[in-house]
Every structure is written in C-alpha cells, then in structure tokens.
A and B are shown apart, each in its own frame.
Chain A
Amino acid sequence: MFTYDPVLFSRILTELTLTFHIIYATIGVGVPLMIAIAQWVGIRKKDEHYILLARRWTRGFVITVAVGVVTGTAIGLQLSLLWPNFMNLAGQVISLPLFMETFAFFFEAIFLGIYLYTWDRFNDQKKHFLLLIPVAIGSSASALFITIVNAFMNTPQGFELKNGVITNIQPLVAMFTPAMPTKVAHVLTTAYMTSAFVLASIAAYHLFKGNRHPYHKKALHLTMKAALIFSLATIVVGDLSGKFLAKYQPEKLAAAEWHFETSTYAPLVLFGTLDDNKEVKNAIKIPYALSILAYNRPGAEVTGLNDIPKEEQPPLYIHYLFNLMVLIGIWLTVIAALYWAGMKKGLAFTMKKSFLMQLVLSGPLAMLAIEIGWYFTEVGRQPWILRGYMKTAEAATKSAHVDTLLVVFSLLYVVLGIASVVVLTKMFRNNPVERELEERALNQGGVSS
C-alpha cells in the first residue's frame, strides 16, 4: 500500500520551502530598489510624501526580510540535509558562488540594520540614503549568486566526471555557464517588476477604496512608472531566455511548446489539450512564432521532443506554466502602459474603479508569475538535478523521518505566512498615512501637505 519514499518527500519539502522562500526573497531583492527610488525622488523634490513612502515601505520590508532570512536559512541547510549526494558532488564545483552569497548576506544585513535604526540620526537625508545603496546591492548580489548556482544545475560545465570522480575543476567556468546571463537577468528584472507591482497594488487599493489623498496618487504613479520599465525589460529578457533554451536546453522548450517533431517554420502553441496520440487539440496556433522566439527567423529549425530520449523528457504540463507566465507578463505590461498613457494624456479612466481593480490585482498576479516561472524552469529540468550528470532521484537523502519533517515545516510556513500578513496589515491599519503626515508636520514645525 503505502511505502515511505524519501525522494518523494525530499522533493515536496524542497519545493515547499522554495515556494515559500521565493515570495519573500523576491520582495527582498526588489523592494530596497523601490525604497531607494522613493527616497531619492523625495530628496530631489524636497517632497515629504516620497520620504514617508520610503519610510513606510521600509517598515513593512523589515518583516518580509525577517521571514526571508528564516526561510533562507532553512533552505540553505535543507540543501545538505535533503540532497547530500548532490551537494557532495556539486559542492566541489559550485561552492564558490554559494560562499560569495554569504558575503552578500553579510553586507546587506549589516547595512540594513544600520539603515533601519538611523532614520532620524542624520540631519542630512542624503547621508541616510547612502546607507541604502549597500542594502540594494547586497540583496541583488545574493540573487545573482544563487541564480548562478541554479544556472549551473541547468547547464553544468567547468569540470570532468569520470567514474564518479570529479577532475579538472574550473570554478569560474562553472559560474559563467550558458544559462547564467539570461537567468540572472530574468530573475533580477522580474524581482524588480514584481516588487513595483506589489507596491502599486497597495497604493491602488487605497485609491480604489475612495481615499484620494495625493500621497497615494504619488505612490501609484511612481510604482507604475517603475513597473512599466521593468515589465518591458522582462519581456526582452524573457525572449532571450527562450533563445537560450532553444540552443542549450531544447527539451525544456520543446516540452513547454508541445513541439514534438523537429521542424522549420514552427508555430507557437497556446494552451490546448493533448489526446492519446500526442496530437494537440483546441489550441491557438500562431504560425512561425516558435521559430521566431527561438532563433528570430521564421525558417529556423526547432528541435522537437521526439528527438529526446523518452526517459529524459520533462513532464508535459509545463506547457501551461509557460503559457501562463508569458500571458501574465504581457497583460501586466499592457496595463502598465495603459496607465502611463492615461496619465500622460490626462485621461480619467486611470482613476476609474474598474481599472484600479486591475492594478490592485497586478501585484498578486506578478507574484504568481514568479512562482509559475520557477515551477516551469525547475520541473522542465526534470528528471535531472544536474542536467546530464545526476538524476534527482539519485541525489536525495535516504534517511527516515522526511515525511514527519514535511508536516512540521508545512505548519511552520503556515504560521509564518499568516503571522506576517496579520502583522503587516495591523501595522499599517493602526498607523494611517494621514495621521503620520500630520505628526511629522507638527514635529518639524513646518507645513507639508
């Protein structure tokens, strides 16, 4: 009936931890940049609203960072606890970026501590602003290094493996893999994009509720502008990621596109279903689009899944994941562009409830795209943990009790997730913007509206 399978439970536990960590990690990478932008604009325009914006975002950020650190420590240890064989092998080649990442953590943690507790310690806001730069650099650097590790798992290089013994190791070659440029760029741009949309959602929510304080309008305007820029960047980099796949991980792209026969003039398949003969039904097909996505030429040949050994083919459901991610990306870019155009032309629809509702949803949608994107790329790498060298099933621990731990960690994440949401809402509810603005104006004896 039921047999204990540590591989299965290790998989689920890793997925669970990463799924949870990535929410906080993405915010951790993107929000410092947004805070920096707001504070900088505030200093430049001498506008209290932007300074307060930066201040309030920072307070929320403290909470998300804490959960990010906690879950990050968990996944860091779990990599060795659940995947001892993988770390034993890969550790010999790819530990350099992991090690460098801890320095990025140090750097970020130190300056975040300083930044948080020194808001009123400097007379010159600019000096305080300078402290934020290392925080933003540190968090983006940690994303850079961990993504380098993930890129290595997809296109390993920089070593030779003979009879289970690794030789001829080149740490830098292992870091700069073919997957690395697009992956790093995509992870960073999407983290910035998602953070901008999440913060825009909050501003849009206040406006949607009928609060038309200029503070919220400025917040929405700033975040949507940033969101538009990062969405456009995401599409460009996403396109490059597709080209990377076509060249270096054709099986992932073929599975994502349900492209079975190697062919030229390949169409792009959107949604649809598969019948028993692997025939695509009910799909929208865009002629030549896959060839263009892969190589920029309609006549280019795209490798099909039938050319890949059966036991090395990834699960086919990643097709839906890929479709959803791209669709969300395009949709979010469109509404950001609409908002921008509407503001430029002074059109009223940007403050209409129906449109604001879309903006409220944009943050959660972007976060969903992050999750889907990771599931797509990670499931698309299966059955490999280290593509071409080690299968996921060989990498896992053989210890007992992984099932119990899965339950315990699930509980932990539920509690942490709920607590962070409750604390965040409480924190902002109990201290509304209007009141804080008044208090600050009184303290400074000046007028600021």
Chain B
Amino acid sequence: MTLEIVGISVLWLFLFGYIIVASIDFGAGFFSAYSEIANKKHVIHQVIQRYLSPVWEVTNVFLVFFFVGMVGFFPKTAYYYGTILLVPASISIILLAIRGSYYAFSTYGIKDNKAYMFLYGMTGVFIPASLSIVLTISEGGFVRMDGGEPALLYKQLFVSPFTWSVVLLSLTSVLYISANFLTYYANAAGDDRARDLLRKYALVWSGPTILSALVIIYQLKHHNAEHYTKMMDVSWMFVVSFLFFVLSLYLLIKKRYFGWSFISLVLQYAFAFYAYGISHYPYLLYPYLTIYDSFTNRTMAVALVIAFIAGLFLLVPSLFLLLKLFLFDKKYVKGQV
C-alpha cells in the first residue's frame, strides 16, 4: 500500500464516521423540530436532550479532523477546493454555527423559542445538502480553469439534475439513518411511543434513499462515464450493500433486534460509501487533481501517519468511555441518572 492510499483511507474512514454520527444528529434535530410544529412535542425531544447534547462537539470534531487531515495529506486540495468552495463552505460554516449554538443556548434559557427551534431543525437538512455539494463538484464538470486559477461554475452546478439527486440522497439518508438509530435508542430507553413514531419515520424514508441512490448511479453514467465504469468494476460491493439494506429493513418491519437493524444499516452505507470511494480513485477532483499529484512529501506523510496511530491510542479508549456512559448505560438511557 502506498502512503497516498493510507492517507486517503484514513480520511475516508473519518468522513464515513462523520456521515453516520452527523446524520443521527442532523436528522434528530429535524424530527424534533417537526414534532414541535406538528404538536407531537416531547415525544422525541427527550431523546435528543439525553443523547445528542453530550456528543455534538465530538461529532463536530470528526468534520474538523477530516478537513485538517485533507490539507495535511493533500496540501494542493487547499488550493483547489479552498478556492472553489469559498461560498458553499461558508454557507456550511454559518449553518453549523446556528446548530452548534443551539445546543448551548437551548439548554439554558431559550429552550422554548420556536423560531430558534425551527432554524435548528432546518439546519439539519440544509447542512447535509450544502456539504454534499463537495462530492458533486469532485465529479468534475463544474470547475473551469481561468489561467491556472480554478473557478466554480455556479450556474451549471445549480441547474444540473445530478447536483439535485446528490442533495436528495443526502437528505433522505440523513432522515433514514437517524430515524433508524433513534428507534433503537428509544427502544433501549423503554419509550414505546417514541420508538413507534420513529420506526414509522424510518420506514417512510427507507424507500426514497434507495431510489435516489439508484438515480445517482444512473446519472453518473452520463455525467462521468469513467467513474461509472470503475463503479461497475466493484458492483459486488453495491450488491452487498443492498443485502444489508434488506436485512436492516426486515428487522425494522419485524420490530425486532433494533440494534442489529442499525448495525446492518451502517454496513449498508459502509459498503456503498467505500465502493464509491474506491471507484473515485485516484481522483480528488476530476480531471484536475489526483491523490498522487496533490500529495504532500514522504517525510510529512510518515509523520502524519505516526501521529495518527498515536492519536488513536488516545481516542479509541476515550470514545469507548463516552459510549459506555451515554449510549450503553441502561440507567442513563432511561433517564434515571
């Protein structure tokens, strides 16, 4: 394995981690705002207060880790993506700011501010949409080189059906992933009403996620034929992903083993996400940037990998402790401490 591949694999893993934990967070916020407005108030709200408040900062660090690591391993991305993403990424920052401040401010004082709650809920769908734009851009076709300076073609990006399919997939996935997880969590908390409601949401969103994923694969064929062909080379991974989807859905319908249902869902996304990533190789930005020509020097790469391994020794036990105290602690989950 070359250092380039080690680097991108580490980053891809953290991006995947972010997608799962952030989806739970984003979706939960959306459902909670929705239930507030649809007067199903406080069925889900409790779960959010108990589960999300302690971990939102950790979720955010996954994102920070990803972009700092990206610039570390592939400094040229700072130049290309930094220049192109000025506006889209700034929008994401602002949405993240609204969201981050909600956790702090809502716990004290302005709990019942409906407008804020609404804003918070909406960021849950807008953030994934704005972040997913990066993946769309990476497929190429939306960037022009102006005398060596990359520039984003806003109009093309905006009118492309491909863009909107990716946005759609990100939205439906967020809602599906979080509804599935929260079903498990509510079940563990013994809150049957919340569980049933969330299970219903999960079922509702399962179909649209798979549909939008299929639409994207179809569109990619026209948008980026090279990537599409490479994707077909790893089509077995998509098949495995689909099987996990079926298993996860089956358990959900049967109202059994919610934990396993969520684990299958994670595997479903993992296989699809890695199949996508592997077939994207070696490009970071079609057709301008590959992981090879954007790579940092060997010395730095080795140093980063060593730092990463050392960091894991710190991180894994700490994360384990966090999960043990807030996710797997029966008493905490049930609200008894």
Contacts and interface: CB of A to CB of B under 8 A. Distances in A.
Interface of A: 59, 62-63, 65-67, 69-74, 76-85, 87-89, 91-93, 95-96, 98-103, 105-107, 109-114, 116-118, 120-121, 134, 166-167, 169-172, 397-399, 401-402, 405, 408-409, 412, 416, 419-420, 422-423, 426-427, 430
A103 B311 contact: yes
A54 to B, nearest CB: 17
Given A121-B337, A398-B149, A110 B68 contact: no
Given A116-B54, A117-B54, A405-B86, A103 B314 contact: yes
Contact of B303 (A82, A96, A102): A96
B83 A110 contact: no
Given A100-B307, A107-B315, A113 B60 contact: no
A112 B57 contact: yes
Given A100-B311, A102-B61, A80 B71 contact: yes
B101 interface: yes
Interface stretch (B103-111, B162-170, B240-248, B261-269): B103-111
A435 to B, nearest CB: 16
Chain A CB count within 10 A is highest, among B63, B86, B296, B325, for B86
B68 A98 contact: yes
Contacts of B68: 76, 95, 98-99, 101-102
Contact of A106 (B58, B72, B89): B58
A409 to B, nearest CB: 8
Contact of A80 (B67, B296, B311, B315): B67
7 contacts: A67-B101, A78-B93, A84-B79, A118-B325, A120-B337, A171-B303, A427-B109
Contacts of A412: 94, 97
B297 interface: yes
Given A62-B104, A430-B109, 5 more contacts: A87-B71, A95-B296, A109-B60, A171-B300, A422-B109
B104 A67 contact: yes
Given A96-B300, A106-B318, A405-B86, A65 B57 contact: yes
B211 to A, nearest CB: 33
A243 to B, nearest CB: 31
Chain A CB count within 10 A is highest, among B83, B109, B149, B300, for B300
Interface string B258-293: 000000000000000000000000000000000000
Given A117-B53, A401-B87, A423 B108 contact: yes
Contacts of B299: 169-171
Contact of A87 (B61, B78, B85): B78
A114 B71 CA distance: 30
B321 to A, nearest CB: 7
Contacts of A87: 71, 75, 78-79, 82
Contacts, number: 213
B325 A63 contact: no
B304 A95 contact: yes
Interface in B302-319: 303-304, 307-308, 311, 314-315, 318-319
Contact of B93 (A77, A134, A167): A77
Contact of A73 (B64, B83, B87, B318): B64
A70 B90 contact: no
Nearest to A427: B108
Nearest to B66: A102
Given A100-B311, A423-B108, A95 B71 contact: yes
Contacts of A78: 93
B108 A88 contact: no
A105 B69 CA distance: 14
A95 B297 CA distance: 11
B304 A96 contact: yes
A84 B83 contact: yes
A405 B87 contact: yes
B100 interface: yes
B234 interface: no
Chain A CB count within 10 A is highest, among B54, B85, B90, for B90
B76 interface: yes
